[in-house]
Amino acid sequence: PFMRAIMEAQFPAPGRTINIKTFLPGSGTEVMELCRPSDSRLEHVDFECLFSCLSLRLLLRVFSSLLLERRVIFTADKLSTLSQCCHAVVALLYPFVWQHTYIPVLPSAMLDIVCTPTPFIVGLLSSSLAQLNELPLEEVRLKALDDEDSILPSKLQSALENVLERRRELANDRGADSINTGHLSTVVSEAFVRFFVELVGHYPLFITAEREDGYSSSSSSSPASCAFQREGFRKAIPSKTVRRFLEVFMETQMFGWFIQERELHRQALRGLFEVRVQEYLDSINENEHRRVNRFLKGLGNRMKFLSKR
């Protein structure tokens, strides 16, 4: 009866909820509320599992390591915890995509993979730690490096920490006692999306189209190949800490793929990040002299609309 009720119900639009009535022997008729996440990227992501396993400070150090494309090994006692945390931390990188080895649950028979000198994200059951410690890991640093606490721009990191510390408050559905997991995931995802918007949201201004007449244009309607103006993009940010971060981040394969996709498919990309970028560009056009941190300042207040939808 439950499956039949689901199949007969209308498939909900992103962010919408449907109520399913079903009869369960011994319990009578029950009504179940099913909510489809507003962003399909988050349908199988559990950020709260990540927060329950890592402190906020440690999570941001791991986040920094991934942005620098280093080697990260997650360990857990349970298979479900391991895979959920790995999937969640990768989801935090949106709109960027991890370009290297990614194995959420690494079989013990393939443990030698962690000896490779290339970047990776792997999950390892705690039962394999003894075997891991016997491997030659000279090329793999299991502890965070000093720069992972300082590479992120300090003001943006503080704003991000503020929102993440208040995530449950922001996800609370109009003051209800229970917190919707979908809202919580949306709040966390939105915080990191806006973090990246503040860092690289001005990129469309520096993807120019080389036209047949020899002139360049930043207009997306120009029927020509596009090229990214790297140096102009970096120097456009007045904040020294942001420029310092971009100097390192722009050398990663994640950033290279991000730009390449937008050079090739500029008009076709219409995801959540592109929506937030356009909002950001509209805001800085109103006052070009207040660019840095303008979008993230007071982010918590701006995100309250999430719990009212």
Q: Which residue has the higher pLDDT, 265 or 146?
A: 265
**Residue 117 confidence (pLDDT):** 84
> What pTM, to 2 d.p., does this model score?
0.77
pLDDT of residue 43: 74
What is the Cα–Cα distance from 88 to 90, expressed in whole angstroms?
5
Q: Which residue has the higher pLDDT, 245 or 12?
A: 245
With 0-12 / 13-18 / 19 or more C-beta atoms within 10 angstroms meaning exposed / middle / buried, residue 95 is: buried
Residue 153's pLDDT is 92
Burial class (CB in 10 A: 0-12, 13-18, 19+), 104: middle
Q: Which residue has the higher pLDDT, 32 or 175?
A: 32
Interval 126-168: pLDDT, tens: 999 888 888 877 655 544 456 777 789 999 999 999 999 988 8
The pLDDT of residue 224 is 56
Confidence of residue 300 (pLDDT cuts 50, 70, 90): very low
Cβ–Cβ < 8 Å for 38, 183: no
Who wins on pLDDT, 111 or 12?
111
As a whole number, the mean pLDDT across the chain is 81
**Residue 292 reports pLDDT greater than 50:** no
Domain ranges of the chain: 1-36
Phi-psi region of 107 (alpha: psi -120 to 50; beta: other; left: phi over 0): beta
Least confident of 37-51, 69-83, 194-208, 250-264: 37-51
- The shares of helix, strand and coil residues in the chain, as percent rounded to the nearest 5, are 50, 15, 35
Q: Please, which residues bridge with residue 22 across strands?
A: 30
* Confidence grade of residue 28 (pLDDT, cut at 50, 70, 90): confident
Phi and psi dihedrals of 173, rounded to 5? -80, 90
> Binning pLDDT at 50, 70 and 90, where does residue 9 land?
confident
Percent of the chain with pLDDT over 70: 77
Q: How many CA atoms lie within 13 A of 63 on its CB side?
A: 26
Q: Which of 33-47, 130-144, 178-192, 202-216 has the lowest mean pLDDT?
A: 130-144
Residue with tokens 């007969």, as numbered in its chain? 8
CB 120 within 8 A of CB 101: yes
Reported confidence tier of residue 269, pLDDT bands at 50, 70, 90: low
Indicate whether 79 pLDDT > 60: yes
Pick from 155-159, 170-174, 291-295: least confident: 291-295
Please give the residue that has the higher pLDDT: either 177 or 228.
Answer: 228
